[in-house]
Amino acid sequence: MPDDPIVAPPHHPPPRAWLLAMELRAPWEFGAVLPAWFTLQRAPRGDGHPVIVYPGLSASDTSTFPMRRYLQHLGYDASGWNQGFNFGPRAGVLRRAQEQLEQTVAGSGCKASLIGWSLGGIYARELAKRMPDHVRSVITLGTPFAGSPASTNAWRLYQMASGRDIAQEARHYDLPAAPGMPTSSVFSRTDGVVAWQASQQAPCKTNPHTENIEVLASHVGLGLNPSTWWVLADRLAQAEGGWAPFTRKRGLHGLIFPDPQR
């Protein structure tokens, strides 16, 4: 991870108050898993490679448990980050995350895919940049890597939880730069916490295997939403070295996954 200051990414206005209030719909998104279960069962099966899932700010592995259980059901060796609540990159957090990734790859004999929800996606992307030989793919959910810290409604919570100045800390990382392996950013224009523009991966000349995938979800419900689970299954099932962008189909599928370029 770079030591020199990095040019700050652009500022995007955080979501308005009415979108933040709509975050209360998250339980209904998880409830939609039951009627969608038949379809989710038809998702591509996994090849058993390890997947590490990083939770969002002030969340723990409990928040990602349903998602990980679904990935395990598909055949992946999915695990949490095993560091309790995510209160930011406090002393030792990134070192332990790196050690976990090293041990996971050594134990499985193959690269791991990293999934990060919100702040957890920052960990996933930065670890992938630091340890590219250990990472097969990166998927982020509502992660604000392409906007200023004030592009979210959670920056004050971050500073309270971590005890760090978020603007000063962000200057030491080139957050908008994509990792070198296949990288997918899942976002929602109805995200009430993170400005959706801040989760948009810009075209990358050094890595053409990047993409933005839009779903209809709240920020709190992103990792519990059945459409997100379908995206995860689709992206993780790709053979290593055989990446292709996510394909939107006509009909209902195209409505569930809007065109991110519109």
pLDDT at 100: 98
Judge whether 146 and 200 are in contact, CB under 8 Å: yes
Handedness of CA 168, 84, 194, 4 (dihedral sign): positive
For residue 7, the model assigns a pLDDT of 60
CATH assignment at residue 151: 3.40.50.1820
**Category of 204 on φ-ψ map: left (φ > 0), alpha (ψ -120 to 50) or beta:** beta
**CB-CB neighbours of 261 under 10 Å:** 6
Q: Looking at the chain, how many residues does it have?
A: 262
pLDDT confidence of residue 228:
98
- At residue 161, the pLDDT reads 78
User: Percentage of residues in the chain with pLDDT exceeding 90?
Assistant: 79
For residue range 128-173, list pLDDT tens digits in order: 999 999 999 999 999 999 998 889 998 888 887 777 777 777 777 8
**Domain span at residue 122?**
17-256
The encoded tokens of residue 12 equal: 């995007």
The pLDDT of residue 8 is 65
Tell whether 1 is covered by a domain.
Answer: no
Residue 7, domain member (yes or no)? no
pLDDT beyond 50 at 87: yes
3-state SS assignment for residue 10: coil
Q: Put residue 82 in one of left, alpha, beta given phi > 0 → left and psi -120 to 50 → alpha.
A: left
| Percentage of the chain lying above the pLDDT 70 cut | 97
229-252 pLDDT, tens per residue?
999 999 999 999 999 999 988 777
How many independent structural domains does the chain possess? 1
Tens digits of per-residue pLDDT, 196-213?
999 999 988 889 999 999
Indicate whether 162 belongs to any domain. Answer: yes
Mean pLDDT estimate for the chain: 92
- Is residue 5 predicted with pLDDT exceeding 50? no
At residue 1 the predicted structure's pLDDT band, cuts being 50, 70 and 90, is very low
Residue 233 placed within a domain: yes
Residues 6+ apart with CB under 8 A from 131: 98, 101, 102
pLDDT digits (tens, 9 = 90+) for 162-178: 777 777 777 778 999 99
Which pLDDT score, from 0 to 100, does residue 171 have?
73
Average pLDDT in the 16-31 region?
A: 96
**Is position 47 within any domain?**
yes
What is the SS3 assignment for 139?
A: strand
